[in-house]
Structure 1
Amino acid sequence: MKIAISAAETSGDLIGAKLVSALKAQNSDIQIEGMAGERMLEAGCVQLWDKNLANVMGFSEVLKKLPALLRLQKVIIHYFSTSKPDVFIGVDAPDFNFLIERKLKRQGIKTVHFISPSVWAWRKNRIKKIKKSTDLVLCLFPFEVDFYQQHAQRAVFVGHPLAESLHPRQDYQSTKTVLLMPGSRESEVKRLLPELLAAVVIIKKQDSQLNFHIALANDELLEWAKVLADKVNVPISIGDAHQQATRSDLVLVASGTAALELALLGVPMVVVYKLSAMSYWIAKRLVTIAYVSLPNIIAGEYLVPELIQDDANPDNIAQQAIAILQSDTTALIQAFNNIHQQLNLNASEESARIIMDFIHE
């Protein structure tokens, strides 16, 4: 049995790796190949293309890489059109994967999209594209299935794979540590890290006993980040965000999957984000929901502070951070525990089972 897969982001690589392991556990003879990162490679996926070839975010950023992305899509489509896998699984990255899925679906190849795009939040007209591209959508959040049922698109809630491996910390004792997680993409790190470090200077004036640490997703910007961090004496580590987070009183984090990961670990946070001016101008007109961070969206209430674009400045970041550090977070942690319970459904095993059944239909 041949399974094709495409993950084009760091978060997709994490979730894709769990799915690959679950599929291999059901049938060790399955051949799984495609676009993957290091985690998927370690799980047993054959890496035909590195995920970093397509790892880009933001409208203007995508435009700059568009010719290369289109060439890559064409290569992937040609390869799987020839090899004819039993199913193609697009892991997240909808704008990249849907085109591939649509072309392969037209050739009779079954397609699954693992992780529903936020079509319920913005660009709702994408449902037309989804219906043309994907036979089955695997949803990480229960409210997503309701949206798809309204549009006669086959979809199943499977829970979130990260809830399998990330669990709320127990009996936490303060370490007087604040962690900085500025994201995984070059564009977001370069926009956010200077703001976060400027906030560190302000926070230190309020509490000189606090320690600060930066967790980078990879070493691509290590030298650049080190120049900034050394000026305020903040150490940096690579690829150990989860471990660092569990030892921190608070995390200043880029909006995205990382915010959900912190909620699953039960760690208070301030969510920050900045896009290019053009990307933000476009996004602001397309987003139709009240919140941007996943903990708030899932809970349906303002659990964690969100500082977006111009609001993501050092003064605001410091103010929100100090407020959390000085508050009782018992109710917040309980809300995070509720999110974990809601999403912890052995998503990887369930997804693998559903995909195998779907292949044999």
Structure 2
Amino acid sequence: MHIALVAGELSGDLLGGGLIAALKARYPQARFSGVGGPAMIARGLQSHVPLERLAVMGLVEVLRHLPELIAVRRQLYRTLIADPPHVFIGIDAPDFNLGLERQLRVKGIPTVHYVSPSVWAWRPWRVRKIARSIDLMLTLLPFEAQFYQRHGVAVCHVGHPLADEIPPRSDAEAARRALGLDLPAGVRLVALLPGSRMGEIERIAPLFLETAGWLHARRPELRFLVPAATARLHDALAALQAERAPHLP
């Protein structure tokens, strides 16, 4: 069995990694191809395109990368038509995936979309395009499934995988020790979360770091933690810190 999947950013890659693991448990001989990041590749995905080429957001950034995004989608379409999967699963990234899903569906390839766009909150008319593009919607939240049922779209509520990964009650001290953050008494830890896309890091992280420096000058007991989704993002954040807040602890 050949299953194709396309994730458009790192959050989708994490969902895709879990999905591939679940599919492999049921179909151990299946092979997986498409677009993914470290989590999906570690589970056996053959990624035809680096995930970073799809991970853009915001009107300006999307317009700047639009020719490349169109070229990537055409490349993927040709690749998947030449080696048709038994099913295609688009993971989030609706602006990229729904168009590809519709093209593949016209060619007789069953299409599934994993993670509903927020059609229940804004631009609800998009449900018509979704209905033309997919055979099945997989939703994270139960009320999303109810929305699609009302509009006659085949849907299955699969739940959010974080519900299995995060315990109802967590031990903050144990979590800090696991991360090597044994802080002295009186020290307060602040997490800075500028995002997982390079565009977000370039635009948002400088302001975060400058604000953290301003806070630390007034509250010297503060320490700051910035998670990086990839080694490339880590290097970019380290360079920005050296430039904008070199003395920030």
Normalised-by-shorter TM-score class = 0.7 to 0.9
- In 1, Cα distance between the equivalents of 2:157 and 2:66? 32
1:319 paired residue number: none
Q: Given the alignment of the two structures, is residue 225 of structure 1 paired with residue 240 of structure 2, yes or no?
A: yes
Q: Which has the higher contact order (CA 8 A, sep 6+)?
A: 1
User: Aligned to 2:116, what secondary structure does the other structure show?
Assistant: coil
How far residue 13 of structure 1 moved from its aligned partner, in angstroms, is 0.5
How far residue 124 of structure 1 moved from its aligned partner, in angstroms, is 1.7
Query: Bigger shift: 193-202 or 103-112?
Result: 193-202
How far residue 198 of structure 1 moved from its aligned partner, in angstroms, is 2.8
Match of 1:185 among 181, 197, 200: 197
Q: Check whether the contact 1:36–1:47 (CA below 8 A) recurs between aligned residues.
A: yes
Paired residues in the alignment total 234
2:12 paired residue number: 12
- In 2, Cα distance between the equivalents of 1:90 and 1:171? 35
Cα 1:120–1:21 shift into 2, 3 Å: same
- Unaligned 5+ segments in structure 1 are 235-361
How far residue 169 of structure 1 moved from its aligned partner, in angstroms, is 5.1
2:179 paired residue number: none
- In 2, Cα distance between the equivalents of 1:66 and 1:30? 33
**For 1:50-77, what per-residue CA distance to the aligned partner results, in whole angstroms no more than 9, with x for missing partners?**
2112111111111111111111111111
Name segments (4+ residues, structure 1) moved above 4 Å: none
How far residue 42 of structure 1 moved from its aligned partner, in angstroms, is 0.4
User: Aligned to 2:28, what secondary structure does the other structure show?
Assistant: coil
Q: Given the alignment of the two structures, is residue 51 of structure 1 paired with residue 51 of structure 2, yes or no?
A: yes
User: Aligned to 1:112, what secondary structure does the other structure show?
Assistant: strand
User: Aligned to 2:172, what secondary structure does the other structure show?
Assistant: coil
Q: CA RMSD in A?
A: 1.8
How far residue 168 of structure 1 moved from its aligned partner, in angstroms, is 4.5
**For 1:119-139, what per-residue CA distance to the aligned partner results, in whole angstroms no more than 9, with x for missing partners?**
112222211110110110000
User: Aligned to 2:167, what secondary structure does the other structure show?
Assistant: coil
2:2 paired residue number: 2
Give the TM-score, by structure 2 length.
Answer: 0.87
How far residue 195 of structure 1 moved from its aligned partner, in angstroms, is 2.2
- In 2, Cα distance between the equivalents of 1:186 and 1:55? 8
- Unaligned 5+ segments in structure 2 are 177-182
- In 2, Cα distance between the equivalents of 1:165 and 1:229? 35
How far residue 46 of structure 1 moved from its aligned partner, in angstroms, is 1.7
**For 1:193-220, what per-residue CA distance to the aligned partner results, in whole angstroms no more than 9, with x for missing partners?**
2222232234335532221122222324
- In 2, Cα distance between the equivalents of 1:70 and 1:82? 18
Q: Given the alignment of the two structures, is residue 95 of structure 1 paired with residue 110 of structure 2, yes or no?
A: no
Q: Check whether the contact 2:210–2:245 (CA below 8 A) recurs between aligned residues.
A: no
Question: Aligned partner of 1:188: which letter?
Answer: E
**For 1:88-143, what per-residue CA distance to the aligned partner results, in whole angstroms no more than 9, with x for missing partners?**
00011110011110001011110000111111122222111101101100000111
Q: Check whether the contact 2:216–2:248 (CA below 8 A) recurs between aligned residues.
A: no
Question: Aligned partner of 1:203: which letter?
Answer: L
Question: Aligned partner of 1:99: which letter?
Answer: G
Percent identity for Structure 1 against Structure 2: 40
